[in-house]
């Protein structure tokens, strides 16, 4: 195992295969009879005007209206070329809206260039930024043509050898209302933000004379890249847990040929906490998360093969989303690392949780902190 894989926390075995995006659970919902159902159809329709408002708190018309409005910018980008099979940001990278400048700037100091890129990313609205090198093991073996749901080549322009990974923090109070259609606005808002931010940063880099491809969930698995870029550690809930926001982030990325200094994965002590905690697995309604040690279980085609890690049962997880007609992130909400870190007590807890005093942090979390879901009516009031 490469040293870097050890730190990333994904142990690759001889069974490793690059993941084919055709097997992503959201893509399967369009072609795989095992996944397609009246619930999955109603789930996708609910993101258009076809939502059926309920009397239950958090699922009223205003909750769906807010969630769907929050997705608007992301939807505009992903739909603009979908009829040509290119669903940008999800099943294909975002097409360049500007061309690469004819003159290249000269990069004499890669460290300084990385600092400038991070500064510009933050100016556009990114909350965290890390840079790493391209590792094609994490790229989809095939992407998906969304006109016929057939696999097609997944190629990047030549010369893109660095990846800029950006984290976008979700709204704490909205996340506290999961599960609800209202809470889904915390995802939609970040997808819309990240679409704009990664497109703007990519346009800036093209203006410097280098290739830059803006990417959201398309092209490659972003979790290994976020960890490789030093933004966080992998948790039992299958999310990257960052020191700044816990698991309450979404990620976008840019593949570029701009010469940049890279960051490295960090051992933060978060994985050790997960070894002694099963809060997310216990709270998951369909029991889709594992309680045991990381393994290379491959009982679902939606799980990457040959990687020893904590893996969810995607069929159970997405089945629950479809049933409630919105995304679920209970496993994000209940995670002890999901805090604002604005207070001294949150910062003290994080220090304890990631140090040899971990047991004190676990005791404090279990006995001392109220972790009740915020009622959607409280959020609105």
Rule CB under 6 A: which residues touch ligand SF4? 235-237, 273-274, 277-280, 284-286, 288-289, 312, 317, 320, 328-331, 334-337
Phi, psi of 94 (to 5 degrees): -75, 125
Q: Which is nearer to ligand SF4, 15 or 267 (CB)?
A: 267
Report, in Å, the least distance between residue 237 CB and ligand SF4.
4
Q: Which is nearer to ligand SF4, 156 or 232 (CB)?
A: 232
Q: Which is nearer to ligand SF4, 66 or 353 (CB)?
A: 353
Report, in Å, the least distance between residue 281 CB and ligand SF4.
7
Q: Which is nearer to ligand SF4, 201 or 330 (CB)?
A: 330
Nearest C-alpha neighbor of 237 from the set 313, 292, 336, 311: 311
Q: Which is nearer to ligand SF4, 66 or 289 (CB)?
A: 289
Report, in Å, the least distance between residue 188 CB and ligand SF4.
16
Phi, psi of 104 (to 5 degrees): -90, 140
Nearest C-alpha neighbor of 327 from the set 145, 140, 214, 174: 174
Report, in Å, the least distance between residue 25 CB and ligand SF4.
10
Show Cβ contacts of residue 283 under 8 Å, excluding neighbours closer than 6 positions.
Answer: 330, 331, 334
96 class by beta-carbon count within 10 Å (0-12 exposed, 13-18 middle, 19+ buried):
middle
Q: Which is nearer to ligand SF4, 204 or 273 (CB)?
A: 273
Q: Which is nearer to ligand SF4, 230 or 235 (CB)?
A: 235
Element (H, E) at 169: strand 162-169
Question: Strand runs (DSSP E) across 59-149, as ranges?
Answer: 128-133, 143-145
Q: Which is nearer to ligand SF4, 198 or 335 (CB)?
A: 335
Per-residue burial over 22-34, b if 16 or more Cβ lie within 10 Å, else e, is: bbbbbbbbeebee
Report, in Å, the least distance between residue 238 CB and ligand SF4.
7
Contact 259, 176 (CB under 8 A): no
Report, in Å, the least distance between residue 338 CB and ligand SF4.
8
The whole-angstrom separation of Cα 240 and Cα 238 is 7
Backbone conformation region of residue 149, classed left if phi is above 0, alpha if psi is from -120 to 50, else beta:
left
Report, in Å, the least distance between residue 286 CB and ligand SF4.
5
Report, in Å, the least distance between residue 317 CB and ligand SF4.
3
Contact 350, 341 (CB under 8 A): yes
């Amino acid at each position: 195992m490469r040293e870097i894989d050890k730190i990333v926390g994904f142990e690759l075995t001889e069974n490793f295969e690059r993941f084919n995006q055709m097997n992503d659970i959201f893509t399967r919902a369009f072609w795989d009879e095992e996944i397609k159902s009246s619930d999955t159809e109603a789930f996708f329709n609910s993101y258009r005007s076809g939502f059926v408002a309920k009397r239950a708190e958090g699922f009223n018309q205003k909750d769906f209206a807010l969630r769907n409005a929050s997705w608007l910018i992301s939807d505009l980008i992903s739909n603009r070329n979908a009829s040509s099979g290119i669903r940008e940001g999800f099943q294909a990278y975002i097409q360049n809206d500007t061309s690469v400048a004819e003159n290249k700037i000269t990069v004499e100091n890669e460290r300084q260039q990385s600092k400038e890129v991070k500064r510009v990313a933050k100016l556009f609205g990114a909350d965290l930024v890390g840079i790493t090198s391209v590792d094609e093991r994490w790229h989809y073996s095939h992407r998906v043509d969304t006109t016929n749901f057939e696999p097609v080549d997944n190629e990047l322009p030549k010369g893109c050898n660095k990846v800029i990974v950006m984290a976008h923090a979700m709204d704490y109070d909205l996340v506290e209302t999961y599960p609800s259609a209202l809470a889904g606005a915390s995802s939609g808002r970040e997808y819309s933000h990240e679409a704009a931010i990664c497109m703007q940063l990519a346009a800036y880099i093209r203006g410097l004379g280098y290739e830059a491809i803006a990417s959201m969930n398309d092209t490659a698995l972003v979790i290994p890249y976020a960890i490789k870029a030093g933004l966080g550690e992998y948790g039992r809930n299958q999310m990257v847990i960052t020191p700044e926001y816990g698991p309450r982030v979404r990620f976008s990325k840019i593949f570029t040929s701009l010469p940049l200094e890279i960051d490295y994965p960090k051992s933060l002590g978060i994985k050790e906490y997960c070894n002694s905690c099963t809060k997310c697995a216990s709270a998951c309604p369909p029991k889709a998360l594992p309680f045991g040690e990381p393994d290379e279980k491959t009982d679902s085609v939606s799980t990457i093969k040959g990687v020893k890690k904590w893996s969810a049962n995607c069929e159970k997880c997405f089945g629950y989303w479809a049933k409630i007609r919105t995304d679920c992130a209970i496993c994000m909400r209940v995670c002890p690392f999901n805090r604002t870190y604005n207070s001294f007590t949150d910062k003290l807890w994080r220090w304890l949780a990631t140090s040899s005093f971990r047991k004190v942090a676990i005791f404090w979390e279990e006995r001392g902190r109220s972790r009740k879901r915020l009622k959607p009516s409280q959020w609105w009031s």
